[in-house]
Structures are given as C-alpha cells and as structure tokens.
Homo-oligomer: A and B are copies of this chain.
Amino acid sequence: MRASERAYAALREDILEWRLEPGTVLGEVEQSERLGISRTPLREALARLLSDGLVAAQGGRGLVVTAVSVSDIAQLFELRQALEQQIARQAAQHRDPAVFETLAAEFRVAPDLLERSDHAGYYELVARFDAAMDAASANTYLVTALRSLRPHLVRLRRISRDNNSRLRAAAREHLLIVEAVAAGDSELAASATHVHLHQSLTSILATAQMLSTHR
C-alpha cells in the first residue's frame, strides 16, 4: 500500500474517532515523523483531508481539525435529507428484491444485537445497508456525494453513541425503509428515510443539548 494512502487512512480514522480533537494543529513535519514517512506523501494525505472538510486551513498557515458545532449538525442533516431521500427513491426503482429482503430479515433480528449491546455488530449491519442502497441506486455521482458526507456523520456517533433506546427505534425505522425499497415503493422509501433522519437529528440535538448543559 502507498505511504500517502496509509497516512490518509490513519489520519482520517484518528479524526473520526476523536483521537485528534477539533482544533488540533497538524504540522507537516510533526505528523510525517509520527507516521514514519516523509513530508511528500503526508502532504498528499492532508490535501485529501482538506477536500473532505475534515481539516481546514488556519489563516494561511497550518491545518487544524475542523470543529462540529450544533449549526453544523443541522446543516449536515439538511444535506443528508436531500441525498438519502433521493438515493432511497432510486434504490427502490432499481433494487434486487432478494438483497433487500435479506436485509429486512436482519433488521428484524437487530433488537437481539442491541439486547446484548453489540453496537459494533449493529453499525456493521447499517454499513451493509448503506452499501446495498449505494449499489441499488445505480448513480455514481449520488453515491460519491454521499460518501463525502458520511465521514462527518461518523464523527457524530460520538454524540449519539450508546443511546440504546434510540438505536432500537432506528432499527425499526431502517426496517421500514428496507421493506419499502424491497417492495419497489419509491415514495414510501423516501418518506421513511425522511422520518428516520428527522428522528435521528432530533435525538442527536437533544443529546448535544444535554452534553453542553452538563459541562
């Protein structure tokens, strides 16, 4: 694997997992030494993070990990609504029913996963759901736009994490989306997506509110 690729993957994960917190300055020499590579591939990695919006230029010199404000969360979800409703419509039109019936069966037993607090298992299921929607949408541009949005959503998991009752509700909402796609009902799929994202946003904002109050 290329050094620049490894550096990108490593830095990206460090940011998504909050090991590099918002505001952290990423110096080229510092990071290249930390990752054991030279500045050239590291610069390439930083450029990609910049276009991802995970880091931002700090007044001409120096890159910093971007922050995620409450306003950012609302804006992210406006974009997410637009993209995921559209992808749900397209997926419902082009889907392979068998794929989504299999997914539906898995979401029906998702409460079992959550029962034993297997959050990783649940997130893995959601990742397969996303992948299936991407594939079924048959629209590379839509998928590309969504792929560039997802890292930011992953960062939000830290806020919604371990909210077991919310995850149970989310599983039911996902199930409805999958059933609508399986049935080829575009508008139901879009509306179910709308509902799901509305509930997710509401939950996240409530948690964010609580976190900021408690501090």
- List residues of chain A with CB under 8 Å of any chain B CB: 40, 43-44, 47-48, 51, 53, 72, 75-76, 78-79, 81-83, 85-86, 90, 138-142, 144-145, 148-149, 152
Contacts and interface: CB of A to CB of B under 8 A. Distances in A.
A190 to B, nearest CB: 10
A44 B44 CA distance: 7
Kindly name the residue among A72, A141, A152 whose own CB sees the greatest number of chain B CB atoms within 10 A: A141
Given A47-B48, A51-B51, A78-B141, 10 more contacts: A40-B40, A75-B139, A75-B140, A75-B141, A75-B142, A76-B141, A78-B142, A79-B141, A82-B83, A141-B149
Kindly name the residue among A48, A81, A145 whose own CB sees the greatest number of chain B CB atoms within 10 A: A145
B75 A81 contact: no
Given A44-B43, A44-B47, A81-B86, A145 B149 contact: yes
A153 to B, nearest CB: 11
Secondary structure at the A interface, as helix, strand, loop or mixed, is: helix
Question: What are the 5 tightest A-B residue pairs by CB atom distance, in nearest-first order?
Answer: A82-B86, A75-B139, A82-B82, A79-B141, A79-B142
Number of copies: 2
A32 to B, nearest CB: 15
A40 B44 CA distance: 10
Contacts of A72: 141
